[in-house]
Amino acid sequence: MEYLVVIFCFIATILITPFVKKAALRLGATDQPNERKVHKGTMPRLGGLAIFLSFLAGIIVFYPDSTYTLPIIIGASLVVVTGVADDLVEVSPKIKLLGQLLATGVVIYGGVQVEFVNLPFGGQLEFGMLSIPITVLWIVGITNAINLIDGLDGLAAGVSSIALLTISGMALFMGNTFVVIVGLIVLGSTLGFLLFNFYPAKIFMGDTGALFLGFMIAVLSLLGFKNVTLFSFIIPIIILGVPISDTLFAILRRKLQNKPWSSPDKSHLHHCLLNLGYSHPQAVLIIYAVSALFSIAAVVFSQATLFGSLAVVASLILMIELIAEFTGLIGKDYKPIINFMKIYKTRK
């Protein structure tokens, strides 16, 4: 069943993408090179529409009768409409946020929210009135995090695929059939698009694809790990470590530079890797590897003891800090640990 889901959606995206590409060129939904972009020529975007249409076909065929199916389809459709509008006419950030909030409201109304977590030493932590704000913050935050890393050919699609594979795999062990099937539907659809999107890309997914993938990953991770233990609540954060940390560093970087948190720049992780001399595909593969490492860490975390879980988290935090210092994510002069190690070696 699982293999059939992936194959069906994989083939569906391959068949749909050429038509979407033609439509994007005809409608003028193209990405022009500028000082922030790394591509050189005009590229059709709107490719995320192919992923979404394949997803729709897959969920209608394989899982049409869940209580979550309709809210997710409606919410995803609102996000996709927002993305299509931005790919066509570049709408304002406020309009994009409004579309995301409407989509989030639909799935929350449909039952997708975190109401409590079980504490490790007994009892529950009830979120009460904070349940909805926490859910909104998670879905909108992850949606935009995936959108922010969509800066190189195949990057967002590949990182999303790794996250979807991990979420679906862990949901399989937890017996959550809905998350397994829907996760694999989105995975198959994304992998099919990756054939057209990996370097050198023939089409970009645009905001249509990045917002859709971010939204679906956020919703599926909530459905897969909601109302579980406090430590299990950390699992989706670990799985999505790359986009989350890149987003947090971007906010911090812009704060230190006295810029609005939403202002675009050319200092994301993929930009930093290019500045260090890595080629376009090398930078993408490095981030794939880091994403896979986070996913492996999430699996280890889920099976570890309390001490082991804390050790995994501490190791990941140290790794993130070192990556930020080596690549210059916050700034070229921000290297506290590296400088400390240099001083220690000098004194030794």
Q: What is the pTM of this model?
A: 0.90
Tokens 């299509």, located at residue: 84
Nearest to 154 by CA among 190, 208, 185: 190
Q: For the residues of 86-136, what is the DSSP string, one character each? A: HHHH---HHHHHHHHHHHHHHHHHTT----EEE-TTSSEEE-GGGHHHHHH
Which residue, among 229, 202, 223, 197, has the nearest Cα to 306 in the 3D structure?
229
- Tens-binned pLDDT, residue by residue, of the chain (348 aa): 778 999 999 999 999 999 999 999 999 888 776 555 555 667 898 999 999 999 999 999 999 889 999 999 999 999 999 999 999 998 988 999 999 999 999 999 999 988 777 665 556 777 888 889 999 999 999 999 999 888 899 999 999 999 999 999 999 988 899 999 999 999 999 999 999 999 999 999 999 999 999 999 999 998 987 655 556 678 888 999 999 998 888 888 877 777 776 666 677 888 889 989 999 899 999 999 999 999 999 999 888 887 888 899 999 999 999 998 898 888 777 888 888 887 777 766
Structural contact between residues 193 and 157, judged by C-beta atoms closer than 8 angstroms: yes
Report how many domains make up the chain: 1
Chain centroid, CA 331 distance in Å: 24
Q: Which domain holds residue 162?
A: 2-347
Residue 172's H or E segment, with its range, is helix 155-174
Instruction: Spell out the residues 6+ positions from residue 21 whose beta carbon is closer than 8 angstroms to its own.
Output: 44, 47, 196, 202, 203
Q: Locate 216 and state its tokens.
A: 């679906």
In contact, 148 and 243? CB cutoff 8 Å:
yes
**Measured between alpha carbons, how far is 344 from 223 in angstroms, rounded to an integer?**
47
